[in-house]
Every structure is written in C-alpha cells, then in structure tokens.
C-alpha cells in the first residue's frame, strides 16, 4: 500500500466516523473505502457503432459483450471476474432486489434474456465471467453517446459524466472513428470540475475500427497509426487524454476467438489464385455473392461478419505466405490489430496508477459528502483533503503534467518531452520515466536518474527560466529525487 493510499484510507475512515448518523453519506463513503480492494474500474465509451463491445470482447478474449443493436447494448453493463459465469440485473428502483438472469450462446456470442423487463427500468447488468484479464480490471460497457435514442444517450451521460457526483469509473477508454467536435466535447465534459483539478490522467483515446480508414487495404493500419500519431501531437487533444492508440477491434476480437472451421475457410480462400481473391475482395457484396464452390457463399458471409474485408484479406495473405498454424496466425493478427499496444498502454497508464486513480476517486467522494452535507465539525476534514491534494507529490505531478500538455507551461520541445516523461506521461515505472529499455538494471536507472536530476536542477535554478517554468522544473526535480530514493520498478 502506497503512503498516498494510507492517507486517503485514513481520511475516508475519519469522514465515515463523522457522518455515521447519515445513512446516505455513510453508505457512499463505505462504498468508496471498499473500492480500494476492488480491481480498477475502466469504462469503455464512445458513440454508437464505435466498436465498444467488440473491443471489450477482444480485451477479454471471449465474445461476452453483445455487439448487435439489441436492447442490452442500451444498458450500462459491468464485467467482473468470478469462479463461474452468471449475470444479475439491478433495477433503477433501489428498493427492488437484484435479479438473476439467464445466459445463453448463439452463434458463439453470449446472449442475455431480460425476462421481459423494460430497458427503461434497468439500472445496470452485472456479468460475472472467469477471466484472467478481469481479475485486475473491471470493464464497463456503456451505451452509445449521441445515440438517436435520447434515453440511451442519457444513460451514457448519467454514468460517465454525472452532474453532482464523480463517475463510478476510475478511468475511461474513449473510442472514436475520427476526431469530431462531439468527441472533443465529451472529453472536455469528462474532466472533473473540482477537487481533482481537471486532468487527462484517467482517459485514453482509441482510434477504433482502424482497418476501415484504408478501405480494407493491407496498409490500412499503417495509415491509422499515422493518424493516431498526428492526434497525439494535437495541442487540444493532448490536454484531454493521455494518448491515442489505433486498434482494429473487429480483427482483434475475431483473432482472439478464431475457430478451426474459420481457419479452414480462410485457408481455402488463400489457395485460390491471388487475382481471384483480390477480385472477390473488391466489395462486401461481391465477396458474398460471387459463385464459388469452396468456401461457399454462406461461409464467406460469416467470414465477412467476423473479420471484415481487411481481416479476410490480411489473414488469407498471411496463410498464402506460409503461415499454416492457426495459433500462430491468430497471434500475428492480434499483434497487427494494435490490441497488444493498447494493452501495454492500459498497463502503463492505468494499472501502474491503480493506487493513484483509486485515491483520486476516494477524494472526490469525500469532497462530495463535505459539500452536500457541510458541518462545522468537519472543517478539519476539508483542510485534510486540500492538504493531501497540495502535498501529495502524485497529485502535484498530475497538475504539472496537465499544465504542460495544455500549453500553460513553456519549455523547449526537447525539454518538454523530457519533462512529460519524467512526470509519468509515458508510464509510472522508473524505466518508463527515464526512457530505458526493459532489461535495464539498477545501475543504469541510478545513472539516468542522476543525469536527469542534474539537468533539471540547472533549469530550475537558471535566471533565464520564468517563474511558472521554474516551478514546473522543481516538480520534475522532486520526481527525479523520488526515482533515486525508490527501488527499481519495471
């Protein structure tokens, strides 16, 4: 447990003691105290058809989130690790008990029967599923933002950006097909308007459906990564999220759940003359309707639904080039999809910051109680919240990182990149902060941290450095001192 976590837990307990006579406040605080022992909560958000459920399935490695336009996609759905599969329904009426529902499989995908309950009466679905990925992270699938259904869109807004409370999620993965003004407005609205001092630390943007950017060409993902790189350098977006990653979600999901019969069909396709395959892949209509014995039309339609034109083209090309082992093919498709890069980003930006994100959510909860039910006897608790925010170096780093990315603090380009990395912009570990390879040892970490400390002390003490920049430089110096004092973390 980190010193920050210790401080925040203690604050939560003292606040809980002070509000023991208020059932609502006490329940809220106890809930947040228990959240420290839960996995990190990561919500997947985006507009309708951005590929949220598909990406969730890819991350888990099973088709457990419905991807069609059914009624369940209009409900906030939580996915958590459990010994056995199961699903419960929680109604908006708090007086009603949770109701177990029936799970079934159709065409390999999970189906949930609401047993006639109107969608409008359901608060959330809670899906239990044995999964290694879900042991560390609870994933939350949200309805589409800017949906044609006002109720569906409102549900997403209520969960992600409630007006009078912090979001139930610790962090957000926001999916977008291109960067539109609506995406920017959402990312702006997700910033906290109070105790957390608006920071992008808990948001990652994903350029989803990346394979569609190049109209299914083999170089589609290269083009998508180039666009994601450009977005990462956008001054506006840098101040709203940690980073932007390109992912072909459909390819990732299909590769992680590929069946033997699909591999056989792709192999049959790869065995055809290359010119014939390229002619088939000119359009989805031609691919499904062209006369062909094997694979037959019905099989090709299913392949198209599962892999898309890009996935079929890429998989058949790889098989033609000699990749005849289905496991090796699936692994290569996952790697090319961008899913591995996203998982690395989730680990460095979210998992490594678990204690910080949990503490942040807990401080928001305490601040909400103190604001809603002010009492003269709780002035010391308010002071403690401010003391932690001002004194905990983790929060000082976040504010400095946010100011750097928003352009409020000016450094030369090389120094700006160096400062962001040392403040944890690329990940919280010593190796990530110092830009070292995974195999670097304690001596290399010590030497790199010592060099960083020297150059940032010089910048902080230089009479040519402005006041705001000098203050930011001193924060970087403190981070370097922390790297030298702490044991090496990978």
Q: Is residue 345 part of a domain?
A: no
pLDDT at 210: 86
Domain ranges, residue 320: 252-333
Q: Which pLDDT score, from 0 to 100, does residue 251 have? A: 94
Residue 9's H or E segment, with its range, is helix 3-18
- Report the alpha-carbon distance of residue 101 to residue 109 in Å, rounded: 16
Last residue of a domain, one of 225, 248, 271: 248
Highest mean pLDDT among 104-108, 142-146, 213-217: 142-146
Q: What is the mean pLDDT of residues 16-23?
A: 94
pLDDT for res 264: 95
pLDDT of residue 449: 96
213 and 151 share one domain: yes
Answer yes or no: do 132 and 55 share one domain: yes
Give yes or no for residue 87 having a pLDDT over 80.
yes
Tell me what the mean pLDDT of segment 160-176 comes to. 82
Same domain, residue pair 439 and 464: yes
What's residue 196's pLDDT? 45
Q: Which of 169 and 451 is assigned the larger pLDDT?
A: 451
Q: Would residue 55 count as lying in a domain?
A: yes
pLDDT of residue 349: 80
Strand, helix or coil for residue 85 = coil
Pair 219, 275 in one domain = no
User: Given this model, what pLDDT does residue 148 score?
Assistant: 55
Say how far residue 285 (Cα) sits from the centre of its chain: 34
Give helix 413-422 / helix 467-485 axis angle, nearest 10°.
40
Statement to judge: residues 283 and 423 lie in one domain: no
What are the pLDDT digits (tens) for 265-280?
Answer: 999 999 999 988 888 8
The predicted pLDDT at position 68 comes to 67
Question: 33 in a domain, yes or no?
Answer: no
The encoded tokens of residue 293 equal 């014995």
Alpha helices in 36-170 (DSSP H): 52-60, 132-136, 150-160
CATH of the domain at 158: 3.40.50
Query: If pLDDT is split at 50, 70 and 90, which confidence band does 97 have?
Result: confident
**Long-range pairs of 31-38 with CB within 8 A, sequence gap ≥ 24:** 31/365, 32/361, 32/362, 32/365, 32/366, 33/9, 33/362, 35/358, 35/361, 35/362, 36/5, 36/9, 36/358, 36/362, 38/138
Structure confidence at residue 5 (pLDDT): 92
Question: Does residue 7 form part of some domain?
Answer: no
**pLDDT band, very low/low/confident/very high, at 448 (cuts 50, 70, 90):** very high
The answer to which of 121-130, 175-184, 434-443, 460-469 has the lowest mean pLDDT is: 175-184
Phi-psi region of 250 (alpha: psi -120 to 50; beta: other; left: phi over 0): alpha
Q: Are residues 287 and 207 in the same domain?
A: no
108, 227: one domain = yes
Long-range contacts, 317-322 (Cβ 8 Å, 24+)? 317/218, 317/270, 319/266, 319/267, 319/270, 320/270, 320/274
Q: How many structural domains comprise the chain?
A: 3
Higher model confidence: residue 244 or residue 150? 244
In a domain, 116, yes or no: yes
**Residues 170 and 268 placed together within one structural domain of the fold:** no
Does the residue 284 lie in any domain?
yes
| CATH number of the domain to which 420 belongs | 1.10.287
Query: 359-410, pLDDT tens digit by residue?
Result: 888 898 899 899 999 998 899 999 999 899 888 898 888 888 878 877 888 8
Is residue 270 domain-shared with residue 239, that is, in the same domain?
no
Q: What does the pLDDT read at residue 149?
A: 61
Predicted confidence (pLDDT) at residue 6 exceeds the cutoff of 60:
yes
**Is 297 found in the same domain as 209?**
no
Is 297 part of a structural domain of the chain? yes
Residue 192 located in a structural domain: yes
Statement: residue 8 has pLDDT above 70: yes
Q: If you average pLDDT over every residue of the chain, what do you get?
A: 87
Q: Do residue 224 and residue 273 come from a single domain?
A: no
pLDDT at 188: 76
Tell me which of 214, 248, 282 is where a domain ends.
Answer: 248
> Does 300 lie in the same domain as 239?
no
pTM: 0.84
pLDDT at 217: 76
Q: Work out the average pLDDT over 311-317.
A: 94
**What CA–CA distances, in Å, run from 254 to 21, 210, 337, 342, 365?**
53, 15, 10, 16, 39
């Amino acid at each position: 447990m980190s010193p920050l976590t210790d401080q925040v837990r203690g604050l939560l307990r003292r606040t809980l003691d002070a509000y023991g006579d208020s059932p609502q406040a006490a329940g809220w605080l106890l809930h947040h105290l228990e959240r420290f022992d839960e996995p990190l909560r990561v919500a997947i958000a985006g507009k309708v058809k951005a590929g949220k459920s598909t990406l969730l399935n890819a991350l888990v490695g099973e088709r457990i989130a419905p991807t069609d336009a059914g009624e369940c996609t209009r409900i906030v759905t939580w996915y958590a690790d459990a010994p056995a599969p199961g699903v419960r329904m929680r109604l908006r009426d708090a007086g009603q008990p949770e109701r177990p529902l029936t799970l079934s499989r159709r065409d390999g995908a999970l189906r949930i029967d609401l047993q006639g309950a109107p969608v409008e009466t359901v608060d959330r679905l809670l899906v239990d599923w044995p999964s290694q990925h879900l042991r560390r992270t609870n994933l939350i699938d949200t309805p589409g933002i800017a949906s044609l259904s006002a109720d569906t869109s409102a549900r997403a807004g209520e969960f992600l950006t409630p007006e009078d409370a912090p979001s139930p999620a610790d962090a957000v993965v926001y999916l977008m097909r291109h960067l539109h003004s609506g995406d920017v407005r959402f990312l702006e609205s997700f910033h906290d308007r109070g105790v957390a001092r608006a920071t992008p630390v808990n948001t990652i943007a994903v350029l989803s459906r990346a394979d569609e950017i190049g109209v299914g060409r083999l170089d589609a993902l290269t083009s998508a990564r180039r666009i994601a790189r450009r977005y990462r350098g956008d001054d506006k977006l840098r101040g709203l999220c940690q980073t932007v990653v390109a992912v072909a979600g459909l390819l990732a999901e299909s590769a992680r759940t590929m069946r033997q019969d699909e591999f056989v069909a792709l192999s049959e396709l790869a065995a055809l003359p290359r010119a014939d395959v390229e002619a088939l892949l000119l359009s989805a209509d031609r691919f499904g309707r062209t006369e062909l014995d094997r694979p037959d039309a019905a099989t090709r339609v299913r392949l198209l639904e599962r892999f898309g034109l890009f996935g079929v083209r890429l998989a058949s090309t790889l098989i033609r080039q000699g990749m005849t082992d289905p496991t090796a093919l699936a692994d290569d498709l996952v790697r090319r999809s961008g899913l591995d890069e996203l998982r690395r980003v989730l680990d460095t930006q979210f998992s490594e910051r678990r204690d910080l994100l949990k503490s942040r959510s807990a401080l928001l909860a305490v601040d909400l109680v103190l604001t809603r039910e002010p009492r003269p006897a709780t002035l010391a608790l308010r002071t403690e919240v401010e003391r932690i925010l001002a004194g905990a170096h983790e929060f000082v780093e976040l504010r400095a990182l946010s100011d750097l990315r928003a352009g409020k603090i000016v450094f030369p380009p090389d120094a700006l990149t160096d400062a962001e990395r040392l403040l944890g912009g690329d990940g919280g570990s010593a190796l990530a902060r110092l830009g070292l390879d995974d195999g670097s040892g304690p001596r290399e970490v010590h030497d790199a941290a010592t060099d960083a400390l020297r150059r940032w002390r010089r910048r902080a003490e230089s009479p040519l450095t402005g006041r705001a920049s000098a203050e930011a430089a001193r924060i970087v110096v403190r981070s370097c001192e922390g790297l030298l004092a702490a044991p090496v973390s990978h």
